[in-house]
A and B are shown apart, each in its own frame.
Chain A
């Protein structure tokens, strides 16, 4: 399906510039590192990035070194959206008052699922509502990975984490993944989307679009994690593809309220193919997998119906 995108990529889309310098501390085969690397290529060096505490921040800036070749700031776990609001407002004010020459600097706030959908949700909602001109990128590895694989509201149903482990009387995560894209779209922002680094061109186009749109944009990026999801490090791209091909993580955009499904295979692969590759789902019975399959199919159908309301 999506393999059709992988023709020789255009050099004018993918720059060879590495704004995330090599030598960082991300785990071997980290999907988040890949997502960050691609996103930086898409936005370009003319940005200021504010990052929440998480794998991304810890792995890229162990004093006295930094992997960042862009202006970068980290303060706390839950306030990347708040600090970027200040950056954006500060730049606007300085330029309006002639204290700084007018230029187009992209304001980008980033965080993991913890810093976005849990502790960071308030600040994100505030920034989206106020309509600051910024892009928010969420690297979703579906748990608080950096502190030791603890559950988040983005952890999928049935996944085992250290604070919601599978056990004799528990299936692991008993709630379904919080839908951040719908929450952000409900703020009536110009652009919301999902992306996956396994579909690098789609991801980069969306990130570029989000950076260029006037007003807030939110992109939710699936970031497969070999350490936390328990799969061999070489499978990151493959697992990301399966997440999309099974309908578990559909690729879609909501642009000014209009839904568009970016990839709609004629038949979705069974979710089992995705789940069986990951140790965090190893405990699931056939019945539970069936339950997940049903829910995924239902939600995918609903998404298709929404997209059908907005003909191309």
Chain B
């Protein structure tokens, strides 16, 4: 019988890590993630969680230590944000290409400069190419659920890929909401023991991390991509198993009141909740409008997205990051994914919520209105933004 507890999202993550019986926690504190390693340290100090807690001296070492732990078959967890994620950037690639199923929770934070400790998606957008399974949470229940699910899927012997679970910094990580916590016995049914098939062991010596000369590197990368794409099957299976045991079913692309809608707003992360308020308001006024939320970011949910936009005229993509010189990254990817669709909807991108800038329901109202305007008349602005003071420059330079 699960119990309903008021928990800060960071603490909900810590609960999930505890119930997953993680063996090694190796993390470096960085705002706004600090409540996670702090709560975990407390659990270890009290004997609530039996794990080796490594207070590493940098994020680069944090993830490196997780790789070491994984290599001997230990279940490893780390967490970071913003600059920390960028400091460990080279290790992030290695975790995937060496196929260590580490789970990492990111409290998404804006990137310097200027230095900002507040939330946006720029940190994780720099990790699109790294080969980690990546999901975005909207609320505290998802933060708990997806952290648990991450171990199940990453460690599956048909997957063996690391998993990133994203929480918006402050607007999700520090929010207190009621969370259903399951029984440990239910968790044990869902999450089997980690059985790493290539564990380093003196009885069966293996070599992890050999040199890839040009005559073999391509084959290695293709093998990695094929395995990564195939992991979608187990991702979905993991969500089905999760739902069967805990009663909450998750999917790659969540539709909110999108049935028959002509226009869809596409969001990721916790700002989606505010956007849903706007959708409700507009629908009450008779607008044909719905919302799509990308929960699964990598491997990109091509099929589910294409299915969700069938019959839709306009998709307005809301980004919380600028990819300099290119615009909103989610916008670029959604456009690219839908390019081959016949017919394809008009796709518009608007950027906002950078560096912790709040988005109100009105702001999302602007996004929808401006998005429809651009879909109809086009735009000559170099970038579409919401909630930014100052007139936008046109592509002709004024």
Contact = CB atoms under 8 A, between A and B. Distances in A.
A79 B94 CA distance: 12
Interface residues of B, number: 47
B358 interface: no
A41 B260 CA distance: 72
Contact of B23 (A64, A75, A76, A90): A90
Contact of B50 (A76, A83, A93, A100): A93
A50 interface: yes
Contact of B209 (A75, A78, A125): A75
A123 B57 contact: yes
Contacts of B24: 86, 89-90, 93
B90 to A, nearest CB: 6
B61 A122 contact: yes
Contacts of A62: 210-211, 213
Contacts of A70: 202, 205
A74 B56 contact: no
A88 B53 CA distance: 11
Interface in B204-230: 204-213, 216, 220
Contact of A74 (B23, B193, B209): B209
A94 interface: yes
A74 B58 contact: no
Interface stretch (B66-74, B184-192, B364-372): B66-74
Interface string A60-80: 011110101111111110110
A73 B65 contact: no
Nearest to A107: B68
Interface in A81-97: 81-94, 96-97
Interface residues of A, number: 48
Nearest to B215: A63
B64 interface: yes
B54 A73 contact: no
Given A62-B211, A73-B68, A86 B60 contact: no
Contact of A50 (B58, B68, B202): B68
A93 B74 contact: yes
Nearest to B78: A86
Contacts of B67: 73, 75, 83, 86
Nearest to A51: B209
B277 interface: no
A2 interface: no
Contact of B57 (A57, A61, A76, A122): A122
A68 B61 contact: no
Contact of B52 (A79, A82, A89, A129): A89
A100 B24 CA distance: 14
Interface string A101-130: 000010000000000000000110110011
Contacts of B342: none
A13 B57 CA distance: 38
B69 A87 contact: yes
Interface of B: 21, 23-24, 26, 50-52, 54-58, 60-62, 64-74, 76, 90-91, 94, 98, 193, 200-202, 204-213, 216, 220
Given A123-B58, A125-B57, 15 more contacts: A47-B202, A71-B205, A73-B71, A73-B200, A85-B61, A86-B64, A89-B69, A93-B52, A94-B23, A94-B74, A96-B50, A99-B73, A122-B58, A122-B61, A123-B64
